[in-house]
Every structure is written in structure tokens, then in C-alpha cells.
Amino acid sequence: MNSERFHMNCFICDNSFSEIKTKDVLKQYCSFCNFYKTLHIDKEKDSYESEFWDESDYSEFAGTDFTDKGVQDLVLTFESWYSYFKPFLKNKKNILDIGSGTGISCILLEKKGYNIIGVDPDPRNVELINSKLKKGKCINSFFENLELKEKVDVIWITHVIEHLEQPDKLLKKCKEWLAPDGIICIAVPDCENPEMLKNSLTNPYHIFHFTKKSLKQLFEKTKFQLISCKSLSNLQKTNRRIHKILRKFGFRNLSVKINPFYPFELTSKKNGYEIRCVIKFK
């Protein structure tokens, strides 16, 4: 057992965790930061380096152009991310995508005119992504070992940091890659929602289960300034159906005007699907 993986104190605030142990899982909770951490005791390796990367529901679409009907929900999610982050991307062209996975962010951001560098630990993903990129490239590496010749304007990190044993280490590493006026775009599951927390706690590949408060504490610790932090929930079925009809009959612009984050919407309730944040250097 690697004892370094188990910490008695919160890595953000250094207060003591309260702990619940079962046969296979150690669950830790920081009441000050309001987040959970889980470790599956039978897993020696960080889940970022584990078989998680073989288990993607979209693995068959890695390196495609994402026009297949079966992956359009993922495309809609990307477009929602982009709509949220776009106001912060003005005059920014060079983007580093951490944990590229299927390559959807790399490929679709390049189609929108950005200069793309991706990084992913799976050599199969990297090969497929590079076969589709026109000018950009994806690098086969873990973030700890990544070195860039030039700094980037934007670092794109969607649904990655919840898988990391040391998310603060990634944010500190970002300072090596980010231009002085650059930004970091982040999305994680919203574990202030009891249903999302339940799903996240039972996911063997999720280590951290963040809330807006815990993310703000994390950014403060790593000396980043928070520009934006919002929860978004899934659209209700009726509203989603209305938007589908509008888009089907050529009224996509109206759909976007009504709700630019379709198929999600901003929420102030504890029903969020994910949290989206933008941070920059202090």
C-alpha cells in the first residue's frame, strides 16, 4: 500500500478530515472546504494513470470528426462549454487541452480557428487525434512531464481534475505553460447536488468531489484569481424538447439566444450537473 496516497488533513486548508472506511473505500470529508475525497484502497495507481483511460463511453469516437449521431450529446456538451467560455477567449488563439481523451475539444476548437496543443496519456488517443488535426498536435504525456516551447493563452481542463490525486499540482504546473494574461477554463461535476455527489462517490475513477466553495479554496491556495464560477443543470425535458424542435426546423439562432448553454442552463439551486470556472494569475 502506498501510504503517500492517504492524507489525514485536507490538502487545501490543512484541517483534519473526517473519515469513513469501508472494505474497499476510504471516504474523507473536509467540512471547512465542503468537499469529499475518496480513495479505492485496492488501486495503487492514481486513477489518472489507470485503466480509466480504457473505459470511456465514447472511446469508439476517439479521433473522429464527431459527426456520428451516437456522439451528438457529447458535441452538444462541448458547444455548451464553448458558449460559456467564449466571452473570456477574446484575443486568445493558443489553447492547451489537458486530458484530451476522445479529442473532441482539440478537434472542434481547431475548427473554430484556434491553435491547439493537446496532451493525453493514452498513445492510441493521441495517434487518432493527430490524424484529424490539421495544424495542431496532441502530445502523448502525463501533465507532470509536459514541456512546451512557448506559453499558451488558454488552458482547457474539462472533467479532469476530479481524477487527480493532486489537483493543486496540476494548477501549479499550469503556471509554467500559461502566458501572463492567460486564462484557465475548468469544468467539474457539481457535487453540491446530492445526486451528482452520490454518482461521483460511487465512480471508482473520481478522487475529488468538488463544490464551488472547495474550488474557490483551491484556487486561493494555488494563487489564482477567480473570474467566473457558475453551476449549470440539465435542462428539463419540456425545455429540452422545445430547443430540439427549434433547431430541427432551422431556428438554431433563436434557441441559442434563449439559452446559449443548451442542453444545460445556469442554476442557483443545488441541482447542478457541473461547475464551470475561469481563473487567471493574480
Quick: pLDDT tens for 38-64.
986 555 444 445 454 455 555 666 656
Quick: pLDDT tens for 72-86.
889 999 999 999 999
Q: Read off the DSSP letter of residue 16.
A: B
Superfamily of segment(s) 3-281: Vaccinia Virus protein VP39 (3.40.50.150)
Provide the pLDDT confidence category of residue 221 given band limits of 50, 70 and 90: very high
From residue 17, alpha-carbon distances to 28, 33, 38, 154, 168 in Å are 6, 10, 11, 34, 17
Q: Which of 9, 8, 93, 37 is nearest to 209 (CA)?
A: 37
Average pLDDT, the chain: 90
pLDDT above 80 for 170: yes
Say how far apart CA 76 and CA 244 lie, in whole Å.
11
Quick: pLDDT tens for 64-119.
678 777 788 899 999 999 999 999 999 999 999 999 999 999 999 999 999 999 99
Say how far apart CA 233 and CA 270 lie, in whole Å.
9
Write down the pTM of the prediction.
0.91
pLDDT above 60 for 244: yes
Please tell me the predicted confidence (pLDDT) of residue 6. 53
Mutual angle of helices 104-111 and 123-132, in 10-degree steps: 20
Please tell me the predicted confidence (pLDDT) of residue 14. 92
Say how far apart CA 188 and CA 203 lie, in whole Å.
14
pLDDT above 50 for 2: no
